[in-house]
């Protein structure tokens, strides 16, 4: 094999590859014999048809299949020979081959940008400092209290704080039902702070079981679902049940109902306070890491090749579709998905983050030894109650090593950073 490398862009290369006729013919001969064993041709016993006859009848098809199967191997060999590590699947072009001749093709290859971090001292970041107060603890306990509320069906009109079980039928402005837009036994907690449309809930106050109302309303403009935010809709609502909620008394029995680990209400309260502090500490840590990465990107700006971004986006889309498929949800074909500008910007940011963190690791000489990683796996195995071998075979092992390395990188960045505090 002969390979010529042409630099087509800063982080793009074109591999011009020639594969000798002798190698192609050797591969074809092996394929002909393989086909000979399984092809049945009238007048010959299975596996005994002459090779010349197989070449005459099926040669073109076999040659196409052999070349198609071998191309990934040829590309890998050519990249290795050129000392390149492709960052995304190569794109094959200008494939030419005639029987008995040299095979030639070109492969467009994106390579990882060579990012060098000379210094990472003095990155200016702000640590969020938060003191968990009684109001915050009381609010979390209030949420627990509401989740453990008892419900009972009542024969009275719906009031704020009640649960409504209702059937919904979407209607047009004239009041006609829209076919295929019926939703049965939907549950609504009337007066919820984050209700998609307070206007919708207010319009239902006073409805009784068996009663129907046509309700026009507008969704909140700050709704996370941007497709619905600020839009208007109309439904015919048939009330099935009105349920009254009764909140439990906040005492030792309530604490026991929340979890068997608590014997008193004070234990529950202390646990809630500790959990809130840990959550704030985690958020502060993640915010610091995000700032450190942003500051590195500002200090060492570079462009990420479009091919690498596109490959990353395709991989993320495929993983999301696989997750949706496992949940039994509708799966979207790859060609039906066009990444948004926001998705593309997020992909570029994640790739810059990966490359810069790795550059810091190399510059600082940070490594996780096999012994340290083995110790981590043993700890994870003990926590999960399984063997270390089981943990090693899990799909998480590689990500744990990467996380362990990143922990050390961020610890070093933070040690060298200029950190100020901000109360939130």
Q: How many CA atoms lie within 13 A of 394 on its CB side?
A: 15
Alpha carbon of 216 to those of 206, 209, 235, 237, 394: distances in Å?
A: 16, 20, 7, 10, 52
DSSP designation for 18 = E
Supply 241's token pair.
């049940």
Helix (H, G, I), strand (E, B) or coil at 206: coil
Buried b / exposed e over 309-329, threshold 16 CB at 10 Å, is bebbbeeebeeebeeeeeeee
Residues whose CB falls within 8 Å of the CB of residue 208, separated by 6 or more in sequence, listed in order: 156, 157, 158, 239, 242
pLDDT tens-digit readout, 190-212: 988 889 999 999 999 999 999 99
List, in order of start, the domains of the chain with CATH numbers.
Answer: 2-110 (3.30.70.1050), 151-246 (3.10.50.40), 257-423 (1.10.3120)
| pLDDT for position 142 | 94
DSSP designation for 196 = S
Q: Which helix H or strand E contains 243, and what residues bound it?
A: strand 232-246
The vertex-284 CA angle with 282 and 285, nearest 5°, equals 65
pLDDT means per 10 residues, the chain with 424 residues, are 90 92 90 82 81 83 89 91 88 88 92 90 95 96 94 95 95 93 94 89 95 94 88 96 96 95 96 97 96 96 89 86 77 72 93 95 92 87 83 79 93 96 93
pTM above 0.75, yes or no: no
Q: Alpha helix (H) ranges present in 133-182?
A: 134-147
| pLDDT for position 334 | 60
The single residue listed with the structure tokens 């003191």 is 131
Alpha carbon of 182 to those of 37, 54, 174, 201: distances in Å?
A: 60, 62, 17, 18
- CB neighbours (10 Å) of residue 176? 9
- Identify the CA nearest to 24 among candidates 64, 54, 80: 64
The single residue listed with the structure tokens 């590859």 is 17
Q: How many CA atoms lie within 13 A of 400 on its CB side?
A: 18
Distance, C-alpha 245 to centroid of its chain = 38
Task: Please tell me the distance from the alpha carbon of residue 405 to that of residue 357, in angstroms, as a whole number.
Answer: 10
CB distance 262 to 274 below 8 Å = no
Supply 98's token pair.
């005639």
């Amino acid at each position: 094999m002969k390979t010529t490398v042409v630099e087509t862009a800063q982080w793009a290369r074109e591999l011009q590859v020639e594969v000798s006729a002798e190698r192609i013919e050797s591969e074809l001969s092996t394929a002909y014999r393989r086909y000979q064993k399984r092809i049945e041709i009238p007048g010959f016993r299975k596996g005994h048809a002459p090779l010349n006859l197989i070449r005459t009848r099926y040669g073109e098809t076999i040659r196409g299949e052999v070349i198609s199967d071998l191309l990934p191997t040829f590309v890998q060999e050519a990249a290795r020979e050129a000392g390149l590590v492709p960052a995304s699947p190569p794109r094959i072009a200008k494939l030419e081959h005639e029987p008995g001749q040299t095979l030639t093709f070109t492969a467009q290859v994106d390579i990882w940008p060579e990012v060098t971090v000379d210094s990472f001292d003095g990155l200016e970041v702000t640590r969020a400092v938060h003191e968990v107060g009684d109001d915050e603890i009381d609010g979390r306990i209030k949420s627990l209290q509401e989740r453990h509320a008892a419900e009972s069906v009542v024969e009275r009109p719906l009031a704020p704080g009640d649960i409504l079980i209702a059937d919904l039928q979407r209607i047009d402005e004239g009041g006609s039902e829209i076919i295929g837009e019926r939703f049965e036994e939907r549950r609504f907690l009337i007066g919820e702070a984050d209700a998609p449309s307070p206007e919708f809930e207010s319009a239902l106050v006073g409805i009784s079981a068996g009663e129907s109302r046509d309700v026009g309303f507008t969704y909140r403009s700050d709704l996370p679902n941007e497709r619905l935010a600020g839009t208007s809709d109309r439904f015919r609502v048939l009330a099935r049940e009105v349920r009254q909620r009764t909140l439990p008394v906040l005492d030792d029995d309530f604490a026991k109902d929340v979890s068997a680990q608590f014997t008193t209400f004070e234990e529950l309260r202390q646990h809630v306070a500790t959990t809130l502090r840990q959550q704030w500490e985690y958020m502060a840590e993640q915010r610091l890491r995000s700032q450190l990465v942003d500051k590195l990107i500002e200090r060492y700006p570079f462009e990420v090749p479009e091919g690498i971004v596109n490959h990353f986006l395709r991989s993320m889309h495929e993983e999301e579709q696989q997750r949706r498929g496992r949940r039994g949800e509708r799966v979207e074909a790859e060609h039906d998905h066009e990444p948004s500008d926001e998705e593309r910007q997020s992909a570029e940011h994640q790739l810059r983050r990966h490359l810069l963190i790795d550059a810091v690791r190399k510059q600082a000489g940070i490594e996780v030894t096999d012994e340290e990683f083995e110790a981590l796996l043993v700890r994870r195995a003990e926590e999960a109650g399984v063997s270390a071998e089981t943990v090693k075979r899990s799909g998480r092992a590689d990500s744990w090593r990467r996380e362990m390395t990143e922990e050390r990188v961020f610890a070093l960045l933070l040690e060298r950073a200029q950190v100020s505090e901000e109360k939130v």
